[in-house]
Amino acid sequence: MQSPPATPAELAALERRIDEWLAAEMADNPAIDAVERAEGDVIRWYIRFLGEEKDVWTAWWTLGQRTLGFETFLMPAPEENRAELFEHLLRRNHKLTGLHLELGDEDAVFLRGSLPVAAVTDAELDRILGSMWAAVELVFRPAMRLGFASRFKD
């Protein structure tokens, strides 16, 4: 069942709340390097993270009438070991909460999720942020070592 659409006033209030929450996180969270906003009709934030396994990566949070969507590019299409990599990603999906790994354009791997607008709270924003960071840390290096194995030979 689809969530009811938020009113323009509800979306505006939620947009302000997310802006404020991200500003506070930017000030307090050393894993966040930058937060930027999209210009135009789409309500979108770009959150640049400093990671350990993947040095720098960006999450896109997009606020729609019904959902807050969140995603990041994890890695390009694998050059080798495709079956093993895809099995690895499917197994990792089982351990993710509120997120999933999927293939996007040109078989690139993305991490995505969404939340109904009515369920967006500060605690949920914190969960999304932490879950995305943890998932990238968990999945990135093993996936790259499978999909680009010959580049990692010692």
- Domains of the chain, residue spans: 8-147
Count of residues in the chain: 154
Q: Read off the pLDDT of each residue in 48-65 and give the average, rounded to a whole number.
A: 96
Q: Read off the pLDDT of each residue in 138-149 and give the average, rounded to a whole number.
A: 95
Beta bridge partners of 37: 45
With H, G, I as helix, E, B as strand and everything else as coil, classify residue 3.
coil
Q: Which fold has domain 8-147?
A: Yope Regulator; Chain: A, (3.30.1460)
**What proportion of the chain, given as a percentage, has pLDDT over 70?**
99
Q: How many CB atoms lie within 10 A of CB 66?
A: 15
pTM of the full structure: 0.91
